């Protein structure tokens, strides 16, 4: 796509992109971190990676049969 464009068109696209980025609202990092921590802690009680999966609902735990290749 860039091969079909002149230098002027490419610079205009870059300028438009920079204008969009400048107009994006910013929030302080500490506010974002607090929101992220609250989100993760709110979901932690139901997270199977933290809580674990009950044996009766774990499809990978069960009969320890062997593999049969025919």
Answer yes or no: is 57 within a domain. no
Q: What is the pLDDT of residue 66?
A: 65
Answer yes or no: is 22 within a domain. yes
- Per the structure, the complete domain to which residue 11 belongs is given by 2-47
Q: Using one digit for the tens of pLDDT, what is the confidence trace for 14-68?
A: 999 999 999 999 988 988 999 999 999 999 998 988 888 888 888 777 666 667 7
Answer yes or no: is 30 within a domain. yes
Please count the structural domains in the chain.
1
Answer yes or no: is 65 within a domain. no
Q: Identify the DSSP state of 57.
A: G
Q: Using one digit for the tens of pLDDT, what is the confidence trace for 10-27?
A: 999 999 999 999 999 998
Helix (H), strand (E) counts: the chain = 3, 0
Answer yes or no: is 52 within a domain. no
Answer yes or no: is 28 within a domain. yes
């Amino acid at each position: 796509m860039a091969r079909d464009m002149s230098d002027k068109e490419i610079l205009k696209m870059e300028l438009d992109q920079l204008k969009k980025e400048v107009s994006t609202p910013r929030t302080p990092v500490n506010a974002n971190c607090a929101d992220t921590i609250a989100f993760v802690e709110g979901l932690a009680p139901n997270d199977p990676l933290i809580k674990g999966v009950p044996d009766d609902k774990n499809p990978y735990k069960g009969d320890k049969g062997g593999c049969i290749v025919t």
